[in-house]
Amino acid sequence: MSTLSPPTRAAVVIIGGGMAGLSCAASLARRGITDVVLLESKTLAHARGSSFGETRMFREMYSDPVLCRLAREANRLWREEEVHAGGGLRETHGLLFYGESWDEETIEGSIPGARRVMDDQGIPYEALSAKEIADRFPLKPKPDFTGLFEPTAGAVRSDKVVEHWIRTARSAGHQLIEHCPVIEVDAVGGSVTLNDGHRIHAGQVVVACGIWSRQLLAPLNLAPKLEIWPMLWAHYSVDPSLADRYPQWFCFQKERGDDGGLYYGFPVLSHAADGRPRIKAGIDWTPPELRVSEPEEMTEAPPTRLVELLDAFLFESLEGVQERIETVISPYAMTRDVNFVLDRLSPKLSLFTGGSGQAFKFAPLIGDSLARLASNASPSVDLSCWSHQRTAVCS
Ligand SMILES: Cc1cc2nc3c(=O)[nH]c(=O)nc-3n(C[C@H](O)[C@H](O)[C@H](O)COP(=O)(O)OP(=O)(O)OC[C@H]3O[C@@H](n4cnc5c(N)ncnc54)[C@H](O)[C@@H]3O)c2cc1C
């Protein structure tokens, strides 16, 4: 248990201290709601959850026109968030989608799909050939690869954002209590019970438990259908002479054998302990045999085959990559349609989960929407695409 003692009553109880819970707490603070308690079973944005790490991509380059519009709204809210924080939350350096162009959507969309939606919604981009990509960046695209560069995309400094939300919530008097697992929720009465039996009566409860949401909601018959994907990412040291030339990139290739074909990487945004410039890169796919339904079943050790695939891609497809220096597994909470769940489940209970590999860029919109639900206000946008009632989600 944390040194803070949980109260017996609160206007809003938030369960989960990752991206969704913390952005909700910060949004409630800005709406002037101060009687808020956030309960986190481990530590805020810890390494076993989905919000751990220093960077996340943001973009409007979506194949789904609805997500594209929602990403634009999230970007508007990020700009406000940056004013509150005094800057430092994001880096705008563009994003290169490149690779094979075929008419089928992957979990991150597709090159032709994103191009259609950006044309329809007037989002600026550059179309690049394989030669133009190779001339401009230290990448080695195959001759048939094509690319789209969205100049207004970039990286969210997720670790700095987490610190900013914690400061915002604490300054408003919110209690953020770590090492405090919730074991039961009463969706009708609006109370939560902690693992030591302590009960908190809440005006509103927000469940923001990521891959653990099913465990809390199953006894209420409200568990969303979710799969847990262990996702591999790593830091690689790079040649200092190329350090300022790496783009933020996402590479689309068809699945071949045990290679899912989807890889991504960031520019140099930090350095290794010994001062060498490093890039973060990851695989945006995991084989079906590693996908599980319960958090305890997820592998903690980086699977050898995925590490081999990521190494092979990085050393073969980028120039100047030197050495893998940190290797991490983090979970995606995946719905069948790879879209989120953000909804009111009862008059006193709201939920966010299913963030997959995409939700961080929507964080201010997710926080604002959860805060509005918890203060009985209407969401600012149509959230029906994130409904708990859709067939991909309800059990
Ligand atoms: C490797 C990786 C790369 C990603 N890349 C991007 C990207 O480039 N762009 C992008 O937009 N998004 C990206 N995402 C997605 C985004 O980071 C996640 O969707 C988001 O962080 C999920 O946040 P969350 O709050 O739902 O879950 P989490 O961060 O997992 O938080 C849930 C919290 O709830 C707590 N909890 C669970 N059960 C209980 C309980 N009973 N009582 C109390 N606390 C509890 C957990 O301990 C945890 O801290 C990526 C995700 C991963 C894993």
Instruction: Answer yes or no: is the C-beta of 295 below 6 A from any ligand 1 atom.
Output: no
Average pLDDT along the chain = 96
Q: Please check the confidence at residue 395 and state whether its pLDDT lies above 90.
A: no
Distance 105 CA to ligand 1 centre (A): 24
Distance 46 CA to ligand 1 centre (A): 9
pLDDT digits (tens, 9 = 90+) for 156-203: 999 999 999 999 999 999 999 999 999 999 999 999 999 999 999 999
Distance 171 CA to ligand 1 centre (A): 23
In a domain, residue 68? The reply is no
Q: Is 238 in the same domain as 307? A: yes
pLDDT at 142 (0 to 100): 97
Q: Whose CA is nearest to atom 33 of ligand 1?
A: 16
Q: Quick check: helix, strand or coil at residue 323?
A: strand
Q: Please check the confidence at residue 4 and state whether its pLDDT lies above 80.
A: no
Instruction: Answer yes or no: is the C-beta of 302 below 6 A from any ligand 1 atom.
Output: no
CATH number of residue 355's parent domain = 3.50.50.60
Q: What is the mean pLDDT of residues 334-338?
A: 95
Instruction: Answer yes or no: is the C-beta of 48 below 6 A from any ligand 1 atom.
Output: no
pLDDT at 5 (0 to 100): 87
pLDDT > 90 fraction of the chain, expressed in percent and rounded: 96
In order of 85, 90, 164, the CA distances from 82 in angstroms are: 5, 8, 10
Which range of residues forms the domain containing residue 294?
Answer: 92-156+227-334
Instruction: Answer yes or no: is the C-beta of 210 below 6 A from any ligand 1 atom.
Output: yes
Q: Is 245 in the same domain as 292? A: yes
pLDDT digits (tens, 9 = 90+) for 147-161: 999 999 999 999 999
Q: What is the mean pLDDT of residues 82-100?
A: 97
Q: Is 244 in the same domain as 370? A: no
Q: In 154-268, where do the E strands start and end?
A: 154-156, 175-177, 182-186, 191-194, 199-207, 227-238, 249-252, 263-265
Instruction: Answer yes or no: is the C-beta of 49 below 6 A from any ligand 1 atom.
Output: yes
Q: Is 201 in the same domain as 260? A: no
120 — pLDDT class (breaks 50, 70, 90): very high
Q: Is 271 in the same domain as 329? A: yes
Q: Are 108 and 263 in contact (CB under 8 A)?
A: no
Q: Please check the confidence at residue 3 and state whether its pLDDT lies above 70.
A: no
| More confident of the two residues 375 and 1 | 375
Q: Please check the confidence at residue 1 and state whether its pLDDT lies above 50.
A: no
Q: Is 148 in the same domain as 163? A: no
Q: Is 211 in the same domain as 241? A: no
Q: Please check the confidence at residue 266 and state whether its pLDDT lies above 80.
A: yes
pLDDT digits (tens, 9 = 90+) for 15-51: 999 999 999 999 999 999 999 999 999 999 999 999 9
321 — pLDDT class (breaks 50, 70, 90): very high
In order of 77, 239, 278, 348, 358, the CA distances from 244 in angstroms are: 29, 10, 11, 50, 26
SS3 per residue for 3-17: CCCCCCEEEEEEECC
Q: Is 192 in the same domain as 250? A: no
Q: Whose CA is nearest to atom 27 of ligand 1?
A: 210
pLDDT at 103 (0 to 100): 81
Q: Is 328 in the same domain as 342? A: no
What is the number of structural domains in the chain?
Answer: 2
Q: Please check the confidence at residue 143 and state whether its pLDDT lies above 90.
A: yes
Instruction: Answer yes or no: is the C-beta of 383 below 6 A from any ligand 1 atom.
Output: no
Instruction: Answer yes or no: is the C-beta of 361 below 6 A from any ligand 1 atom.
Output: yes
Model confidence pTM above 0.95 = yes
Instruction: Answer yes or no: is the C-beta of 95 below 6 A from any ligand 1 atom.
Output: no
Q: Are 280 and 55 in contact (CB under 8 A)?
A: yes
